Amino acid sequence: MRLFVLTLAFSIAAGFAVAQTEPDLGPEAEPPSADDLHALPDLEVEDEAKVVGDGTADSDALDPLFQQLAAAQSKEEAEVFARQIQRAWMVSGSDTVDVLMTRAGEAMRANDHALALDLLDVIVTLKPDYAEGWNRRATVFYMREDFGRSLADIERTLALEPRHWGALSGLAIIQRRIGRDLDALANFKKVLKIHPGLENAQEAVDDLQEKADGEPI
């Protein structure tokens, strides 16, 4: 883990150096949005999570849903399984954390980043094994263009749930923003293996693959 963190820190530093000399960062040069990371399911998903949740979001229990998601034959079918997984991710097992998560989501939608961070700081302190808390905080840091802290929280999210397509998307988007296109391409491909219905991930793969294929040897 220590080696991974050191490697990540070096990669970030190297990436920013590259970004300073490479102004064309593609569509991800637009202002960051929570939608980029698929990090804010609508309120219906959040509300349903409180009803259907059993207090756990066991990774093994989600295996069948992830298998169905990966094998989905249409965007609509994929969305059905994706929403079920998102509902499971929202379950914290703590009424206090659930309330704080709802308030944090409302603050994020209102672009009140300071309030969202205050709430999410409490959430990850109270429930450090709750992947969605780290993912939401990573999203806020991303929206503030604090990519270093966002990457740190993405790492925590993926350590708890390696199949979190929102966190992987965030990693790939940040890598693309700092000019690490090949790393971004690899991670966008991982996203599509998990959730093949994500059109923006497919567009990013197409764009990055075309750019990679056009690079001189």
Of 111 and 38, the structure prediction assigns the larger pLDDT to 111
CB 64, CB 81: distance < 8 Å: no
Q: Look at residue 72 and tell me whether its pLDDT is greater than 80.
A: yes
pTM of this structure? 0.77
Name the 3-class secondary structure at 65: helix
Q: What percent of the chain has pLDDT over 90?
A: 62
Residue, of 26 and 200, whose pLDDT is higher: 200
The Cα–Cα gap between 37 and 167 comes to 7
At 75 the pLDDT is: 87
Q: Does the structure show a pLDDT above 70 at 36?
A: no
Q: Is the pLDDT of residue 13 over 50?
A: no
pLDDT tens for 87-126 read 999 989 999 999 999 999 999 999 999 999 999 999 999 9
* 191 part of a folded domain: yes
* Among the ranges given (12-16, 62-66, 73-77, 103-107), the one the predictor scored with the smallest mean pLDDT: 12-16
Is 154 domain-assigned? no
Has residue 19 got a pLDDT over 60?
A: no
Nearest to 105 by CA among 115, 91, 95, 96: 115
DSSP code of 71?
Answer: T
Tally the domains of the chain. 1
Q: What are phi and psi of 166, to 5 degrees?
A: -65, -45
CA distances 9 to 3, 4, 15, 17, Å, are: 10, 9, 10, 13
Tokens of 99: 């309330």
Nearest to 181 by CA among 134, 155, 144, 214: 214
What are the DSSP calls for 123-162, one per residue?
A: HHHH-TT-HHHHHHHHHHHHHTT-HHHHHHHHHHHHHH-T
- pLDDT for 30 equals 58
Does residue 94 lie in a domain region? no
Q: How confident is the model at residue 58 (pLDDT cuts 50, 70, 90)?
A: low
Q: Which long-range contacts (CB under 8 A, 24 or more apart) does 185-191 make?
A: 185/209, 185/212, 191/165
Closest CA to 180 of 13, 1, 4: 13
User: Does residue 16 sit within a domain?
Assistant: no
Which pLDDT does position 43 carry in this prediction? 41
In a domain, 209, yes or no: yes
- Please check the confidence at residue 59 and state whether its pLDDT lies above 70: no
Average pLDDT of the residues of the chain? 80
d(CA 157, CA 139): 11
User: Of all helices (H) and strands (E), which one includes residue 197?
Assistant: none
Domain that holds residue 175: 168-217
Quote the pLDDT of residue 182. Answer: 95
pLDDT of amino acid 158: 97
In Å, how far from its chain's centre is CA 130? Answer: 14
Convert the pLDDT of each residue in 132-180 to its tens digit: 999 999 999 999 999 999 999 999 999 999 999 999 999 999 999 999 9
**Is 102 inside any structural domain?**
no
Residue 214 lies in a domain: yes
Residue 2, pLDDT > 80, answer no
More confident residue, 20 or 108: 108
Distance CA 132, CA 89 (A): 6
193 within domain boundaries: yes
